[in-house]
Structure 1
Amino acid sequence: MRTVLNCCLALLFLIGLSIKTNAQNQLEIVIVGSSHDNSKSTQNFQAIIDKLKNFNPDMVFGEYLPAEDYAKLEDDHWAKKAFRKGHDYLERLNPKTVKDLPSKIKKDKKALASFAYFHKTRMNLAVHYAKNWDRGNTEYQIFVLENYMKDKFGKEERAAYSKVLGNTDSLQKAGLYRTGSEYSKIYFPLIYQLKQDQIYNMDCQTYDKPWNEAWRKTDSLYKMMIAKAKADSTSVEATTIKEMEAYTSYTPEELKAFNTDPYAGMNTEKYGILDEAWNFYGGSHFYGYPGFPTESVKAMMKQWMLRNEGMCKNILDQAKAKKAKRVVVGVGASHRIWMEEILAKNPDVKIINYNDLH
């Protein structure tokens, strides 16, 4: 009997040890739902940065497309056009062909790791990233130069900057220096203050075409529902619209709390529910309601889910390659709840909500 008891205790100990070890080996991920335009915000962004710094991430991800994925896009794809302006701007200033860009980038980064104030090297690194179609890190290096290095330039370095990158106004017009973006406000300063050397790209645009098709169909059907509701206020469509309006609104108290701290607000459960409704014409809550375009909204959500799954895969693959323990993901607020739910299903991942950080 004692032998059996000892065996049971030993088994329980091993199970407990296994659970503890698994928890210790989990990749901790904070997904920060963010605004793409913070130009008019009065938010204390350094307070956000400090919370994320205290988490001490090994990697910081942004909603940028991986460099190798640009070649897979058609020339008229919005993501390619969004960076082409900046890419072509730097190509005009630096038309010389650079062979073996990955090696050049690696060499530049190694030099800057030894001494961060090799300003010309950093200028060249920004150009090399652009030539390699790495938008995220092109913008990061330009941000560092503009915010932390430029005031230390000598006459020769100012001349080099003008030749290689142009001026601040031109960089802004080319979309390479976006002062109101979440990157300039939060994630680039975070990376710099952590003394890390890059942002990791994780967007996925594989499903953009079927997403657009589903969106256009839903938008058309939604407008038809609106028209019927306006034409007859007693119609079933009008009743559905009224319920949607009530469902997709904050209470005055909730709105006041959100406006006090928008980044805290964008990372709440309530925001996730409302955001789905705002982005999906009412969302899954209204499936089956009279006049509601249920099937086309489902088609939209399918493509949205596929994109978010692709983004999550990009994060996990890179984190595994770097053997990261903790990562921060800066992403548009509409992605946050989807990505949290996808990643939470992975036993090797522990999701930590931004609002639980201190």
Structure 2
Amino acid sequence: MRFYITIFLVLGIFANGFGQKVKILLIGASHDYRKSKDQNFSNIHQRIRAFKPSAFFGEFVSPEDEATLMDYWCKTDNLKRLKKLRSNRHIPLDKITRVIDSLKVISERDNDNFYLKSDLAHAYYLAQDAANGHYLYWQVYDHLNKSADSKLEKYVDSLLCPKQDVSGRSMKRLATSEYAFIAFPMMKEFGLTEMLSMDCQDYDLNWTASAIAFHNKFEVFQKDSLATAYKAIAALLEKRDKGFKKYQEMERSSNVFTEWLNTDEAADILASGDFYFNELYNFKNFPKEEILSQIHWWKKRNEGMCMNIVNRANEIHAKRVVVMVGANHRKFMQEIFQKIPDIEVLTL
């Protein structure tokens, strides 16, 4: 309990120093809609239009944080893309910022020049700004889907190599993500030229270590407890499995899957994937210390993301921002935002 009180006191101290109210539209989403039937995003688009945001945040690591993070779950994938794109066209590190600024000005003057957008995407990727590399690449990708252009496609393939970027936060994943269907089309409609990054991966190695420690012990617990006919444990595990089946059913059959992902029902099902249920924690030999460690590092990541959003929104004086986040983060972040003074959080 002392841990949570301390966190909220710290958050309050930070927030009191901002001096600006920020309204946040928090949208939990799937990172991949490939398994879903044709989705109807019109209600979400309309909600964003009515909200009238001045900025969008995505679940990406900022260039500054990317440069200092030694390792996290997709660091190897990011470095692989960086190495490939540098070999395609090298831009010295000390010139990347100027190149990006110049390309932005030129591209805004010639908005239908998708070669320039490809060049700008490439420069963003070299600056380790995946959010805006993706935003520019998506604009080119979307254009090619609507208007075939073999010459442009060949140029994109040679410069950005999207067919080789297939793992991690890749160009391949982008094509069926919440950014392709929700964030980027709305940013384009509002004339917003950049996405802000807000992910926090400072604790990813701690999270991974905790998860491994828990699962190793949980396998033994599950085997031993079910062998001794603990009906209550079996019932809770069955409840968890039923939740997963409900998730899969909604993913497959609902054309408004994202709206459902923003319900408490979906949040509880998603949380049970990593954290099971509180009712399990006090059973004999349950790895309680390990699961609480997992929860601790998960909360730390969500707190980091929330503070990145608040800090960066205030830096650019943005008072109304849309935040796109994986649905398993939505409820955790909503509860954190509700504790921060001068922050109003809205959901779908």
TM-score, scaled to structure 1: 0.81
Alignment-derived partner of residue 327 in structure 1: 321
Deviation (angstroms), 1:160 = 4.6
1:183 corresponding residue in structure 2: 179
The answer to whether the aligner puts 1:60 opposite 2:41 as a matched pair is: no
Task: For 1:251 and 1:156, locate their aligned partners in 2 and report how far apart those are by CA, in whole Å.
Answer: 45
Q: Which residue of 1 aligns with 2:5?
A: none
Aligned match of 2:331: 337
Match of 2:289 among 288, 295, 309: 295
Shift of 1:289: 3.0
Match for residue 243 of structure 1 among 227, 236, 241? 236
Structure-2 change in CA distance of 1:255 and 1:41 (3 Å): closer
Q: Quote the Cα distance in structure 2 between the aligned partners of 1:60 and 1:154.
A: 30
Conserved in 2, the CA contact under 8 Å of 1:122 and 1:141? yes
- 2:92 and 2:295 map into 1 onto residues whose CA distance is 43
Displacement of 1:318 in angstroms is: 1.0
| Conservation of the 8 A alpha-carbon contact between 1:249 and 1:274 | no
Which structure's relative contact order is higher, taking Cα pairs within 8 Å and 6+ residues apart? 2
Question: Is the 1:119–1:149 Cα contact (8 Å) retained in structure 2?
Answer: no
Deviation at 1:312, TM superposition (A): 0.6
How many residues are treated as equivalent by the alignment? 324
**1:193 Cα deviation after fit:** 1.8
**Offset from partner CA, 1:8-32 (integer Å, 9 cap, x none):** xxxxxxxxxxxxxxxxx63111211
Tell me, which stretches of 5 or more residues in structure 1 are unaligned? 1-24
Runs of 4+, deviation exceeding 6 Å = 149-156, 251-258
Distance 1:264 1:152, change over 3 A: closer
Task: Classify the secondary structure of the residue corresponding to 1:113.
Answer: helix
Deviations 1:139-171 (A, max 9, x none): 1111101213686798875665454335x6456
Q: Highest CA radius of gyration, 1 or 2?
A: 1
How far does residue 196 in structure 1 lie from its aligned partner after superposition?
A: 0.8
The AA in structure 1 aligned to 2:236 is E
Contact 1:34–1:330 (CA<8 Å) still a contact in 2?
yes
Contact 1:214 1:297 in 2 (8 A): yes
Q: Answer whether contact 2:73 2:204 (CA < 8 A) is retained.
A: no
Aligned to 2:10: none
- Asked if 1 retains the 8 angstrom alpha-carbon contact of 2:99 and 2:123, the reply is yes
Write the mapping of 1:249-264 to structure 2, written as runs, cut at 5 A.
Answer: 249-250=242-243, 259-260=253-254, 261-264=256-259
- 1:204 maps onto 2:200 in alignment: yes
Q: Deviations over 1:25-74 (max 9, x none)?
A: 63111211111111122221344333223222111111111111122222
Identity over the aligned pairs, expressed in percent? 26
- Residues of 2 paired with 1:251 and 1:304: CA distance? 20
SS at match of 1:54: helix
Matches within 5 A, 1:114-129: 114-129=109-124
Structure 1 stretch 286-295 or stretch 156-165: which is displaced more?
156-165
What pairs up with 1:83-232 in 2 under 5 angstroms? 83-97=78-92, 99-148=94-143, 160-161=155-156, 163-166=158-161, 169-170=163-164, 175-178=170-173, 179-232=175-228
> Following the alignment from structure 1 to structure 2, what is the Cα–Cα distance between the partners of residues 191 and 318?
18
Distance 1:57 1:114 in 2: 23
Change (3 A) 1:161 1:262: closer
Give the CA RMSD over aligned residues: 2.9
Classify 1:189/1:69 alpha carbon distance in 2 versus 1 (closer, same or farther; 3 Å).
same
User: How far apart in 2 are the matches of 1:212 and 1:162?
Assistant: 35
Relative distance call for 1:136 and 1:292 in structure 2 (3 A) is: same
Aligned-pair CA distance for 1:326: 1.2
1: CA distance, partners of 2:240 / 2:125:
44
Distance in 1, matches of 2:157 and 2:215, equals 46
Report 1:24-35 matches (<5 A). Answer: 26-35=21-30
Which deviates more from structure 2 when the two are superposed, residues 298-307 or residues 44-53? Answer: 44-53
**Which has the higher mean CA deviation after the structures are superposed, 119-128 or 250-259?**
250-259
Amino acid at match of 2:286: F
Provide the C-alpha distance between the structure 2 equivalents of 1:253 and 1:70, rounded to a whole number of angstroms.
36
CA distance in 2, matches of 1:222, 1:158: 49
Task: State how far apart, in whole Å, the 1-side matches of 2:295 and 2:245 are.
Answer: 29
Deviating more after overlay: 171-180 vs 224-233 = 171-180
CA distance in 2, matches of 1:123, 1:251: 40
TM-score by length of 2: 0.83
